[in-house]
Amino acid sequence: MRDALLIALYAFLGAAATGLAGAGVLRLIRRRSLTASLAVVAAVAVLAMLAGTLAVAQAMFLSAHDLSVVTTVVAMAAVVSLATALLLGRWVVARSRELARAARSFGDGGDFAAPEGPATAELESLSRELAATSARLAASRERERALESSRRELVAWISHDLRTPLAGLRAMSEALEDGVAADPARYLRQIRTEVERLNDMVGDLFELSRIHAGALALTRSRISLYDLVGDALAGADPLARELGVRLVGDRVASVPVEVDGKEMSRVLGNLLVNAIRRTPADGTVAVTAERAAEGVVLSVSDGCGGIPEEDLPRVFDTGWRGTHARTPPAGAGLGLAIVRGIVEAHQGRAAVHNIPGGCRFEVTLPAAEG
C-alpha cells in the first residue's frame, strides 16, 4: 500500500510540474490560433505522463531498458496525439472561418447561410443563432423600409393637404384686405372652417408624435362599453345625418373595461368618421361591442365596398389612404394610425376585415378584472 502511494505521489508531482508549465504556455499563446492551443494541450497530456513516469522510474530505480521502452511508447503516443490535435484544430479553425465569412455576408445586408458539412455541437448552435439573428435583422430592415416609405408618403400628403387650405386662406385674406370680397361674412366663415381643419391636422400630428415617442400617458378608469359607444355615436350623429348615413348601435353589451376614456373616445370617433365618410348615402354604419374569449371586441362595420386585399396589411400605416375612391376630402391619413397606437398602448390590437359590401374594423381590448 505504501509503495502504491509513493508511486502516485511521484507521478502526480511530475505531471503537475508539466501541467503548470503547459498552463503558462497556454496563457502566453491565448490570442493565437486554436490549433496551437490544442497542440499544447496534447503535448502537455503526453509530457505529463512522461514526467510522471520518469519521476517514478528515478524513485523506484527502474532498469535502463525498461525506461527506454516506456519512453519510446510515450514518444509514439506524443506523435499520434500531436497529429490528432493539429488535424482537429485545423478543422475547427476552418469551420470557424467559414462561419465568419457567412456572418459578414448578413452583416453587409445579405442573408445568413450556414456552411455545409459537419460541425461540432457548439459551432452548430452558433450557426443556428446566427441564422436566427439574420432573420431578425431582415425583418427589422423590412420594417425600417416600410416605416421610411410611410414617412415619405406622409410628408407628401401633408404637403399637399397644407398647401390647399393655406392657398385658400391667402386668397380670401387678400380679398378681404383689398375690399373686393362680395360676401365678407361668408369668407370669414370659410376662413374659420379652414383654420379648424388645419388645427385638426396639427392635433393629429401631435398625437401621433406622442404615440411614436412612447409619451402617451393613459389615465385609466373603469368605464362601461355601453356608455363609451353611446357617447361616440352621439358625437358622430351630426356628420352621419349630413351625409345621409344611418348609425346603428343596438348590439352593444354593457361590459366594463379599464381604459382611458378620452383616448378611447378618440379611437371610436376616428373609426366612426372614417366609416361614415366612406359609406354611400342611405348606407349603414353598425357598431357592436361584446365579450369574447380574447377580451372585449369593439367593431365598426361600413358600406365602403371593401378594401383591396393587398392594401389590408397597410390600412393602419401612417399616411395610408388607399385608392382614390377611398381618399377622404380632409385629413392626412393619420386617423387609423392613431387608432392602432392608442389601442396598442392599452395592450389591445386593431384589425380590419372585408365583409360583404364593406369592411369591419375591430378593436380588441383586455376585459376589466372583477
Identify the bridge partners of residue 362 per DSSP, sorted by sequence position: 299, 351
Classified as helix, coil or strand, 308 is: coil
What's the whole-model pTM score?
A: 0.58
In 3D, which of 204, 366, 209 has the Cα closest to residue 296? 366
**In this predicted structure, what is the pLDDT of residue 118?**
66
The residue type of 115 is P
**In this predicted structure, what is the pLDDT of residue 329?**
43
Long-range CB contacts (within 8 A, 24+) of 33-39: 33/89, 33/93, 34/89, 34/92, 34/93, 34/96, 35/85, 35/86, 35/89, 35/90, 35/92, 35/93, 36/89, 37/89, 38/85, 38/86, 38/88, 38/89, 38/92, 39/82, 39/85, 39/86, 39/89
Strand order of the sheet with strand 358-365?
246-252, 284-292, 295-301, 358-365, 349-355
**In this predicted structure, what is the pLDDT of residue 10?**
61
Classified as helix, coil or strand, 162 is: helix
**Euclidean distance between the first and final Cα of the chain, in Å?**
77
Report d(CA 218, CA 296) in Å as an integer.
19
In 3D, which of 85, 53, 48, 88 has the Cα closest to residue 68? 53
**In this predicted structure, what is the pLDDT of residue 291?**
87
Paired sense of beta strands 284-292 and 246-252, if any: parallel
Q: Nine-digit cell at 368?
A: 376589466
Which segments in the chain show pLDDT lower than 70?
Answer: 1-4, 6-8, 10-15, 26, 30-31, 33-35, 49-50, 52-67, 70, 73-74, 78, 82, 85, 105-120, 123, 150, 319-333, 370
Classified as helix, coil or strand, 211 is: helix
Longest dimension (CA), the chain: 130
Classified as helix, coil or strand, 106 is: helix
**In this predicted structure, what is the pLDDT of residue 219?**
87
**In this predicted structure, what is the pLDDT of residue 331?**
47
Tell me, what DSSP letter sits at residue 282? Answer: T
Predicted confidence (pLDDT) per residue in 143-194, tens digit: 788 777 767 777 777 777 778 788 888 888 888 888 887 888 888 888 888 8
Place of cell 439574420: 134
**In this predicted structure, what is the pLDDT of residue 330?**
45
333: left (phi over 0), alpha (psi -120 to 50) or beta: left
Classified as helix, coil or strand, 223 is: strand
Q: Nine-digit cell at 293?
A: 374569449
